[in-house]
Amino acid sequence: MILGKLKYIGRYKGISKNIDTAIDYILNNDLMALPKGKTIIDGDNVWVNRDTYVAKPLEDCFFENHDKYMDLQVVLKGQEYFAYTDISNPTLKVTTPYNTEKDVTKYSAEQGVFFILEEGFALVYPEDIHLAKCDVNGGTVEKCVFKIKIED
């Protein structure tokens, strides 16, 4: 997982072509002006989901991961609790098996590293079991989640 402030995201170019595509899009577009929902950037390689929501109570949140796509979760405005743990965490329990259509497995875990994601980003790989959209202070969150196909 890579965490950071959005103003420094350009530092992470060069990891992969698809990550570079997402970073270039972030650097060259007004993400707050994106329409809600899905915007295709590069076919099935990179797209973004734009959303506005009130974060949920922690008990309504869940851990998840993806096999085919990385998430580049970008909080544009507001804040949310975000958590992660490694896939080797012995307390992980699958609560919803892998859904190929949605590219997601859901988990519960007794432990994880929690932090506040605020006007920044988290790039999560398949081994990064993550939890998002959890309430910090009841405010509204403006967010983009880039889906980045993992290159062979």
Residue 134 to residue 57: CA distance in whole angstroms: 6
- What domains does the chain contain, in order, with CATH numbers? 2-149 (2.60.120.370)
Task: State the CB neighbour count (10 A cutoff) for residue 56.
Answer: 15
Task: State the CB neighbour count (10 A cutoff) for residue 63.
Answer: 23
pTM of structure: 0.95
Residue 108 to residue 131: CA distance in whole angstroms: 10
The rounded average pLDDT for each run of 10 residues, N- to C-terminus, in the chain (152 residues) is 95 97 98 97 98 94 96 97 95 97 96 93 96 91 98 78
Q: Where are the alpha helices (DSSP H) in 1-150?
A: 17-28
